[in-house]
């Protein structure tokens, strides 16, 4: 985003980038993100994406909306040649610091997703993104085009993401699911007052507004199809790697679940798509 006159959506992104600069500093030190465990050699990737994406050794991998690079670098440990992209300058600085501390080769680029084709002129074997990425993007159709742009012919796109059904519920409800928002996309973002990170309930900062957009499952699938990528699978899971609601319980495998076997909802989905040669 350039200086001077800003469009309305550019103002939204500027506000969100400022917020994520704050998040990056807090999240790097938080127990939720397990930075210390990563530096001791543990992966931050979940079994869902590890099993579904498979062997990445020697492949070039572009990680969109990478935050401060934990998953990017974890893919590097799996053998991928990794590039991470995020619009937060603080996150990118921390990602580079983390790569140095872990002794891993990685490239990190600060860029808004929508500006990336003007910044990066390469194609990749794998384009990857995951968990909590879509709500920060206003134009999901354009996102699909950008994803496809960076996938090599014969390459793969993979996403694991919180299910869009979760958007309709009150994330702070203590006892059970409570519907508070509509499911379908609106060009006008939802506004939330934020004074701390979702990953750390104790560290606070001056309250500010963030801007988020709903995208239905149909929006996401059609964006991928429209981009020219060929869908290989769509999977849905009644478990999540993050405690999205206070009443979710942690299972023995580390995932968070809704502890009612009679009512199981999709908490996460994954999509794998290919670009034909």
CA angle 47, 197, 177 (to 5 degrees): 65
What are the counts of helices (DSSP H) followed by strands (DSSP E) for the chain?
A: 7, 11
| pLDDT (mean) for 3-26 | 87
Q: How many CB atoms lie within 10 A of CB 215?
A: 22
Per-residue confidence band for 3, with pLDDT thresholds at 50, 70 and 90: very low
What's the gap between Cα 177 and its chain centre?
Answer: 23
Specify the higher pLDDT residue, 6 or 212. 212
Q: Which of 138, 135, 132, 81 is nearest to 104 (CA)?
A: 81
| pLDDT (mean) for 169-192 | 96
- Tens digits of residue pLDDT in 110-135: 999 999 999 999 999 999 999 999 99
- Give me the residue label for tokens 């059904």: 165
DSSP state of 46: -
Cβ(81)–Cβ(58) under 8 Å? yes
Residue 4, pLDDT above cutoff 80: no
Q: Is the dihedral of CA 171, 172, 173, 174 positive or negative?
A: positive
Continuous segment of H or E residues that includes residue 114: none
Query: CATH fold of 8-165+180-237+263-274, please?
Result: Rossmann fold (3.40.50)
Per-residue confidence band for 6, with pLDDT thresholds at 50, 70 and 90: low
CA pair distance 62, 72, nearest whole angstrom: 8
pLDDT at position 201 is 85
pLDDT at position 135 is 97
Residue 257, pLDDT above cutoff 50: yes
| pLDDT (mean) for 49-71 | 98
Per-residue confidence band for 9, with pLDDT thresholds at 50, 70 and 90: confident
CA pair distance 276, 104, nearest whole angstrom: 31
Return mean pLDDT, the chain.
96
Q: How many CB atoms lie within 10 A of CB 26?
A: 19
Q: What pairing do the DSSP bridges indicate for beta strands 107-110 and 124-130? A: unpaired
- Tens digits of residue pLDDT in 193-240: 999 999 998 999 999 999 999 999 999 999 999 999 999 999 999 999
The model carries a pTM of: 0.96
């Amino acid at each position: 985003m350039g200086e001077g006159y800003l469009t309305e959506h550019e103002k939204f992104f500027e506000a969100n980038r400022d917020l994520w600069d704050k998040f990056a500093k807090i999240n790097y030190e938080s127990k939720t993100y397990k930075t210390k465990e990563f530096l001791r050699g543990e992966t931050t990737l979940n079994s869902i994406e590890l099993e579904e994406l498979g062997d990445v050794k020697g492949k070039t991998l572009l990680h969109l909306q990478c935050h401060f690079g934990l998953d990017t670098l974890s893919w590097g440990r799996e053998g991928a040649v990794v590039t991470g992209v995020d619009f937060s300058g603080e996150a990118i600085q921390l990602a580079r610091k983390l790569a140095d501390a872990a002794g891993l080769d990685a490239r990190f680029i600060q860029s808004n997703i929508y500006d990336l084709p003007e910044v990066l002129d390469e194609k990749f074997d794998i384009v990857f993104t995951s968990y909590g990425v879509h709500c920060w993007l206003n134009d999901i159709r354009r996102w699909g085009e950008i994803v496809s742009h960076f996938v090599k012919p014969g390459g793969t796109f993979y996403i694991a993401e919180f299910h869009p059904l979760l958007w309709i519920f009150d994330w702070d409800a203590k006892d059970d699911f409570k519907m508070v928002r509509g499911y379908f996309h609106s060009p006008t973002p939802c506004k939330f007052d934020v004074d701390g990170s979702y990953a750390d309930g104790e560290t606070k900062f001056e309250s500010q507004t963030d801007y988020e957009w709903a995208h239905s499952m149909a929006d996401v699938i059609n964006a991928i199809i429209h981009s020219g990528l060929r869908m290989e699978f769509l999977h849905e899971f009644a478990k999540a790697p993050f405690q999205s609601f206070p009443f979710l319980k942690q299972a023995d495998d580390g995932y968070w679940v809704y502890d009612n076997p009679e009512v199981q909802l999709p908490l996460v989905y994954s999509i794998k798509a290919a670009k034909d040669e």
